[in-house]
Structure 1
Amino acid sequence: MAIGGYNQLPLISLDTQLGTEAYKFQSARAALYAYLSATKIKTLYVPNYICDSIFPALKSLTVEVKFYSVNEQLLPVNCPELTEKSDSRILLVNYFGLLNEQIKMLTAVKPELFIVDNSQALFCEHIEGTTSIYSPRKFLGIPDGGLLRTEIKINMPEARYDASENVGHLLLRAAGDVQAGYARFLDAEQMLECFIPKKISVISAHLIKCADLNTIKEKRRRNYKILYNKFRTLNQLQLPINDHVPLCYPLKLELNVTSICRELIDNAIYLPRYWSSQHSGSVGKGMFENTLFLPVDERISTTELLQLVKLIRTKL
């Protein structure tokens, strides 16, 4: 304990616990690298709709990548059947945190053969027997972080990630200077491209303790339900929320959304695009080209959400 000296940010610890049984790394891709390195996996089956950020780590480990297709409901079309002694694994992506029940069914028979990518599903419970990976910084205001749940023993690295120079975007965003913060955000993301595992930073570990997870979950569910009801007749992708805590509300339309995204930026509305990749199949390309990934996080009020709905409808 330190007493006196310079001041600190007025952050109140709620003693929030997240991933108490998980190995804690600086990023989800570092967590994946650590698992594959420890298990000497030779082949990884990957859906043909996924973020390219995992591939440098796979290449570094000389893991062979084999793609399988997903259907319009973002579920495997031709998921391979592996034996229990296989040196291969199947990566399942819990898209937008909305496929919890489907993934439980897919992994029920041989859970040890599956890696569940819960990067977009922070609050999805770990399925016993599987390996699961989480990316809490997609849901929380933290500069780094990746969680790994597995029954395999992982030797943690000695080095800890230093996030002291990568929190500027969080502070600028909190102060309302979104544009200045965006450049810092890109710099922070670039720093995380290094997949060599390190322990989660002390900054992120502390910020997690200050997060009100119950409020975050409640508001994300509420906001998703509002958008689900408002766009039910327009959305080409019907993924009900059930009891899930979603990353966003994917609004899939019958048109290319690039121009709409540009117009929304003019109104200070910034939407991500998931994902532009040479590995994407027809479903993945359609998701990138035709889908608005609308925010549902706890910072958005009901009034702001309804304004967003009105704005989008005027542009359709």
Structure 2
Amino acid sequence: MAIGGYNQFKFIVNNTIHDAACRFQSARAALYAFLKASGARKIYLPNYLCDSILPAINSLKIDIEWYEIGTNLLPIKVIDSIKEGEYFLLVNYFGLLTDKITTLVAKEPKSFIVDNSQALFSPHIANTTSIYSFRKFLAIPDGGALYTSYSITAPEIEFAGEKHLAHLMLRAAGEVQRGYSYFLQAEQALEDYIPQKMSKVSEYLLSCNDLEFIKDKRQSNYQLLHDKFNEINRFNLPLKNNIPLCYPLFLPFNVSKICTDLVQKGIYLPRYWPALVSQDLNTEFFNNTLFLPVDERLDAESMTFLCSNIISAIEQHDG
């Protein structure tokens, strides 16, 4: 207990999420911890994937076999029988595939790693291994979670989350441009995949988030965008009961110029991801998709502004 002294922020919500999981500084550290504990020899990866996990896999000298996904973002073919020491990683893209992944893993769940880095609110599927990333959904500097049947030794070292709060505070104060360089520094600090404990700062901030409000806003904002753009979207990804990361709008043309132009209007869109293995469809996902935000910061006025600018940009391209 500490009495007196300098002041502090005080946020009170006291929510919990994935408190039964092993917690690390990042999802990639969680994946590394599992692969090392399980003695994995081979992993099947989709060829539409963030390359941040590859150093962890390569450091353990695990063989990689790539598989293709279709426009439904699911494997074109799932291996019929996966051998001991081999694992098939399924990405819950944009948090929208939970039901379909649950069906895919039902026959042999222990052979699957479900990458829920983009699906924080999707439940862990029994007997699979699941990994999560808190910071993709919440304003915290670090945090990843792991569910697995393997015994995992908790790290002794704690991640220094307190050193990487500047971008979050500056963004909250409306200083987006000033915060960007600090954001890049925070991301770089998480490139180290050797497991560390999730920081106490992030544990505290995690508990202060109004998770029900966040879930409701993400769903309502997604539904609004789905109603607006579904007819032109080459993805068919209805909301159902999912809590989405974003609304992926897959168009029949390259959107790079649109993304650049939108920055001038204060609209910043991420790009997911350049193809790691040559395959035309996955290159199209990166080149032709606008990943539209749906998070809780977007009120009705913000959503109207976003939609009108996206519609205008598409019309200018078509014109």
Q: Distance between the aligned counterparts of 1:210 and 1:116, measured in 2?
A: 27
In the TM superposition, 1:270-289 aligns within 5 A as: 270-279=268-277, 281-289=279-287
Q: Which residue of 2 aligns with 1:262?
A: 260
In structure 2, runs of 5+ residues without a counterpart are 315-319
Q: Check 1:219–1:178 CA distance in 2 against 1; reply closer, same or farther (3 A cut).
A: same
Residues 1:18 and 2:10 are matched in the alignment: no
1:38-90 CA distance string (max 9 Å, x none): 0100000000100000000011000111001001111101221234x511000
Q: Using structure 2 for the length normalisation, give the TM-score.
A: 0.97
Amino acid at match of 1:70: I
| Residues 49, 281 of structure 1: 8 Å contact kept | no
1:106-134 CA distance string (max 9 Å, x none): 00011000000000000000000000000
Q: Distance between the aligned counterparts of 1:172 and 1:310, measured in 2?
A: 27
How far the C-alpha of 1:282 sits from its partner, in A, is 2.2
Amino acid at match of 1:59: N
In structure 1, runs of 5+ residues without a counterpart are none
Residues 1:116 and 2:114 are matched in the alignment: yes
Q: Which residue of 2 aligns with 1:2?
A: 2
Q: Single out whichever of 170-179 and 276-285 deviates more from structure 2.
A: 276-285
| Residues 141, 202 of structure 2: 8 Å contact kept | yes
Q: Distance between the aligned counterparts of 2:150 and 2:278, measured in 1?
A: 31
How far the C-alpha of 1:302 sits from its partner, in A, is 1.6
1:256-290 CA distance string (max 9 Å, x none): 00000000000011000000133252222111000
Q: Single out whichever of 154-163 and 110-119 deviates more from structure 2.
A: 154-163
Q: Distance between the aligned counterparts of 2:13 and 2:312, measured in 1?
A: 42
Q: Distance between the aligned counterparts of 1:155 and 1:13, measured in 2?
A: 31
Amino acid at match of 2:200: V
In the TM superposition, 1:115-194 aligns within 5 A as: 115-194=113-192
CA RMSD of aligned residues (A): 0.9
How far the C-alpha of 1:220 sits from its partner, in A, is 0.2
SS at match of 2:277: coil
Q: Which residue of 1 aligns with 2:230?
A: 232
Q: Distance between the aligned counterparts of 2:234 and 2:210, measured in 1?
A: 33
Amino acid at match of 2:275: S
Q: Which residue of 2 aligns with 1:196?
A: 194
Aligned residues: 314
Q: Single out whichever of 219-228 and 232-241 deviates more from structure 2.
A: 232-241
SS at match of 1:137: coil
Q: Check 1:250–1:68 CA distance in 2 against 1; reply closer, same or farther (3 A cut).
A: same
